[in-house]
Amino acid sequence: MLPAIFGISGPELTADERAFFKDADPAGYILFARNCENRDQMRALTDDLRSIHGRDRLIVSIDQEGGRVVRMKPPEWPKYPAGEAFARLFEIAPASAIEAARVNAEAMARELALVGVSVDYHAPFDVRRPETDDVIGDRSLGSHPMQVAALGRAVLDGMSHAGVVGCLKHMPGHGRATVDSHKMLPRVEASDAELETDIEPFRTLAAHPLGMSAHIVFTAWDEERPATLSPTVIDKVIRGRIGFDGLLLTDDIDMQALDGSIPDRSEKALAAGCDIVLNCWAKMDDQIAIAERLGAMSAETASRLDRVHAMMGEPAECADTEELLAKRDALLAIAEATA
């Protein structure tokens, strides 16, 4: 199996994509708005992907957080709030905020499961600060590590109850970045001691089987290389101090924070200690080049991937989506009533 996750160009597979994916056998796929027209179309697409590989347990992933970061959009799908809504409620009623975040995530994940999505790159465990760039902004679950960990755990639990695997991102923390890593490389000058605040939420949830790296230079740990490409950050911080031994994905390898060709970046990320390269833009030339450059995944990566697969499943029996959303809205109304 190829240690890569690939994007898809449209609402259905092209003949070239189907042939390439069958031959390359990537670890999984990521969907964007271009792939999400309606429920029937999405289910047909995800069923098609599984038929290529002949296995039900497959990473079919998406960025569906709520707020600005949604791929499955209204009116076809319900509208979900950004993380800031739960962070505001936490300041007033922490237990209510945790429950609101959990039922919101479960409702969202039930919609994902119905269309064959098995992994959601949610929740951001980035601790927000006054200088945090808007690329995180209202996506954050708060400015205190304990709060971020508590709400993040609720999101992961809610999604798991619906059979969908969530993700710890962006390790070891995106909250101190003052520029958007989609556009340029952030450099964080904080000390090692100061960065304890950033890694604390990840350490709390380190047993979770899936995480994503950050394209950020942390000068206290590696003055030259962003975390995604840094053996020091991955081995000493993410694997060591955080204690994360799950499947570590790169953030999108095509982001402008990184230099060099796409296959060069991909090779360097795996050499640094990432398990899987995430390539989002469905550019066939890049995907072919990645497949030619990378070998089959290691036994250690395959074992970590198995743990992600094992967490996928059928939704548990409980309230339906409308009931979950009604409960969420009632809880979030507490914050509105006290505003």
Residue 259 structure tokens: 């230099």
Tally Cβ neighbours within 10 Å of residue 185: 16
> Residue 234 carries which DSSP code?
I
Give CA–CA dist 116/313, Å, rounded.
11
Is residue 291 a contact partner of residue 73, using CB atoms and an 8 Å limit? no
Tally Cβ neighbours within 10 Å of residue 121: 23
Give CA–CA dist 180/68, Å, rounded.
15
Q: Which residues does 279 contact at the CB level (< 8 Å), separation at least 6?
A: 4, 5, 6, 7, 252, 253, 254, 262, 266, 286, 287, 290
**Residue 59: what are its φ and ψ, rounded to 5°?**
-70, 105
Nearest to 210 by CA among 120, 109, 281, 272: 120
Point out the residues that are catalytic.
182, 251
Nearest to 168 by CA among 221, 127, 224, 226: 127
Beta bridge partners, 215, equal none
Residue 59 structure tokens: 């990473």
Q: Provide the pairing of β-strand 119-120 with 187-188.
A: unpaired
Is residue 164 a contact partner of residue 209, using CB atoms and an 8 Å limit? no
**Residue 120: what are its φ and ψ, rounded to 5°?**
-120, 125
CA atoms within 13 A on the CB side of 199: 25
Instruction: Give burial (CB, 10 Å; 0-12/13-18/19+) of 281.
Output: middle
Residue 205 structure tokens: 């949830």
Is residue 148 a contact partner of residue 205, using CB atoms and an 8 Å limit? no
